[in-house]
A and B are shown apart, each in its own frame.
Chain A
């Protein structure tokens, strides 16, 4: 192993690879494609490690790369997929929630905010670093989204 930054990168990938996979899956709905997206993101982050200012910025960079790789994978899809590829998404009706339905209807940036905050339990400061926006903006957007969620979805429960 080389520099300390390289070791930090390896540690981050090892502890966060499942999180990266879940984020990629929220775009791609395909394990194979999500794995490819994460792998591409790791490669891209490694190559740009020298330019990432400090070690603390590596997670946000890695997650941004994962989001970009997932979007790129979506744009490159050319082939028809067999339905069997999606079987793991089948959720028993009794376990389904209208929160999931609601999420897919949101704009991408709003959906990602909710996923990072509530599915991935990320601190708002880290989410702010990923989106490159002030932390206060993250708080206000989340507050607005949860308010809408309560109004649109939870009242149906």
Chain B
């Protein structure tokens, strides 16, 4: 094969972005160039990286999935998918049955296919989210992706593929390996709520208070030094006074608690109930009467701040430093993702590492 042929093959299957992507980049450039370029910054530091390791392999395990799913796994992770090996081990907890169908640990990646079936109730559905709890337990740092590959409403069974990349900096010392799932979310629902009617009468300066103990903030600090700058800025922020909460339910587990101006910025405050067990969350979009969106352009460094309240409630303050000149003509929409409280259990299976490890790793 010539280099020309290699080039042609590699360029043939690339996926190009949508027109919406072009529009998003154009809007971002427009907003960035409206702002002053930062002048004083110190050295940036590199972000920590942690990765994990593993690999798996076989082929008959994929028989549990339909052809489309098989094809997809082969295309996304071909080396691992082709090397999958059957495991077929079952674990039951809380009336829910987990079966690890197949797995492989290949070089620095792992792939596990599994099913979860509710034997007693309707806790497994087509929105089931393993919520960062599915893991092949190896002594390495790693990062992964979980895909729900299928759902059968007749048997209340959802199928998943769990792929992980590991930083395998030393040989595994154990002969065995476990795959574990400790909780999942289900009945997830995304809904968009029109909050425009609540803008009326909020142009006045609102009653505010210092930010309570901060849980986190949204935004995109560019470096460690930016991070410190943002931390300092957050510590000086004032948010809408929770003692004067509006208490307006706007979705399951989502309450509008405040809206108004503070120090020249437009603030909207939302309370999400029991986020540790529901992962309820959302984002807001402020749009001017001529269609300009302020979702991403509001405040790049601090899009929002959040803090914990009682019962694991999360208070979130969305701050728009930029907003339409005529706020009373703007529209405000909230898009919220809610779910049933997490189902917790201990589903795990243990098997010999050699069962799933490809030859290169042994």
Q: Is A3 an interface residue (CB 8 A)?
A: yes
Whether the Cβ atoms of B37 and A13 lie closer than 8 Å is no
- Is the CB–CB distance between A43 and B300 below 8 Å? yes
Write the chain B residue with the least CB distance to A79. B129
Q: Nearest Cβ in chain A — how far from B97, in angstroms?
A: 18
A-B interface pairs (CB < 8 A), number: 181
Known interface pairs A17-B21, A35-B24, A74-B165; A91-B1 also in contact (CB < 8 Å): no
Per-position binary interface string of chain A over residues 60-96, scored 1 when its CB falls under 8 Å from any chain B CB and 0 otherwise:
0000000010011011011111110111111101011
Known contacts: A75-B49, A146-B6. The answer to whether A100 contacts B1 by CB under 8 A is: no
Which chain B residues border A97 with CB–CB below 8 Å?
9, 12-13
Q: By the criterion CB–CB under 8 Å, are B13 and A105 in contact?
A: no
In the bound complex, CA of A141 to CA of B130 (Å): 40
Q: CB < 8 Å: which of B1, B75, B147 contacts A150?
A: B1
Pairwise interchain contact B72-A75, C-beta atoms closer than 8 A: no
Q: What chain B residues lie within 8 Å of A2 (beta carbons)?
A: 33, 36-37
Whole-angstrom CA separation of A77 from B16 in the bound complex? 22
Tell me the complex Cα distance, A69–B145, Å. Answer: 16
Report whether over half of chain A's contact residues are helix, strand or loop; otherwise say mixed: helix
Q: Which residues of A contact B362 (CB under 8 A)?
A: none
Chain B positions 1-58 with a Cβ under 8 Å from a chain A Cβ: 1, 3, 6-7, 9-18, 21-22, 24-26, 28-29, 32-33, 36-39, 41, 44, 47, 49-51
Could you say which residues of chain A place their CB within 8 Å of the CB of B300?
Answer: 43
In whole angstroms, how far apart are the Cα atoms of A127 and B183 in the complex? Answer: 44
A114 within 8 A of B: yes
Given A3-B37, A121-B7, A146-B3, verify A43-B28 contact (CB < 8 Å): yes
A: number of interface residues (CB 8 Å): 68
How many of chain B's residues have a CB under 8 angstroms from any CB in A?
Answer: 69
Which residues 46-76 of B have a CB within 8 angstroms of A?
47, 49-51, 68-69, 71-72, 74-76
Contact B223 A18 (CB under 8 A): no
Binding site for B on A (CB under 8 A): 1-3, 6, 10, 13-14, 17-18, 21-22, 25, 29, 31, 34-35, 38-40, 42-44, 46-51, 68, 71-72, 74-75, 77-83, 85-91, 93, 95-97, 99-101, 103-105, 107, 114-115, 118-119, 121, 146, 149-150, 154, 157
- Residue contacts A-B, CB under 8 angstroms, 11 given: A14-B29, A22-B16, A31-B17, A34-B17, A39-B25, A40-B220, A42-B29, A43-B300, A81-B147, A95-B13, A97-B9
Top 5 closest A-B pairs, CB basis?
Answer: A47-B222, A105-B79, A101-B78, A78-B132, A44-B222
Knowing that A50-B37, A95-B13 touch, tell me 13 more A-B residue pairs with CB under 8 angstroms. Answer: A18-B17, A25-B14, A38-B25, A39-B24, A44-B223, A46-B32, A47-B38, A80-B131, A80-B147, A80-B148, A87-B72, A88-B15, A118-B7
